Chains A and B, each alone.
Chain A
Amino acid sequence: MSLSLEQVQRIAHLARIEVSESEALTTQGHLNGIFQLIEQMQAVDTQGVEPMSHAQDVSQRLREDAVTEADRRAAFQAVAPETEAGLYLVPKVIE
Chain B
Amino acid sequence: MIYASVKELSQALAAKQISSVELTGLFLDRIERLNPEINAFVTVDRQKSLKMAADADARIAAGQAGPLTGVPIAQKDIFCAEGWLTTCGSKMLSNFVSPYDATVIRKMHAEAGLVSLGKTNMDEFAMGSSNETSFFGPVRNPWDRERVPGGSSGGSAAAIAARLAPAATGTDTGGSIRQPAALCNLTGLKPTYGLVSRYGMIAFASSLDQGGPMAASAEDCALLLNTMVGFDERDSTSLDRPAEDYARDLEKPLAGLRIGLPKEFFGEGCDAEVMAAVQAAIQEYEKLGATCVEVSLPNSHLSVPAYYVIAPAEASSNLSRFDGVRYGYRAPEYGNLDDMYMKTRAQAFGAEVKRRILIGAYVLSHGYYDAYYLQAQRIRRLIANDFVEAFKACDVILGPTSPSTAFKIGEKAADPVQMYLSDIYTIAVNLAGLPGMSLPCGFAGGLPVGMQLIGNYFDEARLLNVAHRYQMATDWHQRRPDGLA
CA of A15 to CA of B338 in the docked complex: distance in angstroms? 11
Q: A27-B355, A44-B302, A72-B99 are in contact. Are A15 and B316 (CB under 8 A)?
A: yes
B359 in the interface (beta carbon within 8 A): yes
Which chain B residues in 374-429 approach chain A with CB under 8 Å? 374-382, 384, 415-417, 420
Interface size, chain A (Cβ < 8 Å): 52
The closest CB in chain A to the CB of B414 belongs to A30
The closest CB in chain B to the CB of A17 belongs to B345
User: A16's contact among B329, B345, B376, by CB below 8 Å, is which?
Assistant: B345
A18 in the interface (beta carbon within 8 A): yes
Q: CB-CB < 8 A to A75: which residues of B?
A: 99-100
CA of A45 to CA of B378 in the docked complex: distance in angstroms? 10
A50 to B381, Cβ gap below 8 A?
Answer: yes
CA of A19 to CA of B355 in the docked complex: distance in angstroms? 11
CA of A87 to CA of B336 in the docked complex: distance in angstroms? 18
Q: CB-CB < 8 A to A22: which residues of B?
A: none
The closest CB in chain B to the CB of A19 belongs to B346
A51 to B377, Cβ gap below 8 A?
Answer: yes
Q: A30-B416, A49-B378 are in contact. Are A14 and B233 (CB under 8 A)?
A: no
What per-residue 1/0 map shows which CB atoms of A1-32 lie under 8 Å from chain B?
A: 00100011001111111110000000100110
The closest CB in chain B to the CB of A78 belongs to B99
CA of A35 to CA of B329 in the docked complex: distance in angstroms? 31
Which chain B residues in 360-378 approach chain A with CB under 8 Å? 360-362, 365, 371-372, 374-378
A17 to B382, Cβ gap below 8 A?
Answer: no
The closest CB in chain A to the CB of B373 belongs to A51
A46 to B346, Cβ gap below 8 A?
Answer: no
A34 in the interface (beta carbon within 8 A): yes
Q: A30-B355, A53-B207 are in contact. Are A15 and B377 (CB under 8 A)?
A: no
Q: CB-CB < 8 A to A39: which residues of B?
A: 305
What per-residue 1/0 map shows which CB atoms of B330-366 lie under 8 Å from chain A?
A: 1000111111111101100100001101111110010
The closest CB in chain A to the CB of B356 belongs to A34
Q: A16-B341, A37-B304 are in contact. Are A31 and B358 (CB under 8 A)?
A: yes
B236 in the interface (beta carbon within 8 A): yes
Q: A14-B361, A76-B99 are in contact. Are A91 and B335 (CB under 8 A)?
A: yes
Known: A27-B354, A76-B326, A79-B97; 12 extra A-B contacts, CB below 8 A, are A12-B358, A14-B365, A34-B416, A37-B305, A40-B301, A44-B375, A49-B382, A56-B237, A76-B99, A81-B328, A81-B329, A81-B330
18 of the cross-chain contacts (CB-CB < 8 Å) are A13-B342, A15-B320, A15-B345, A16-B342, A16-B345, A18-B343, A19-B346, A19-B354, A31-B355, A31-B362, A37-B304, A37-B305, A52-B377, A53-B377, A54-B237, A56-B237, A58-B237, A80-B327
Interface residues of B (CB under 8 A from A): 95-100, 193-194, 207-208, 233, 236-237, 239, 299, 301-302, 304-306, 308-309, 316, 320, 323-330, 334-343, 345-346, 349, 354-355, 357-362, 365, 371-372, 374-382, 384, 415-417, 420, 431-433
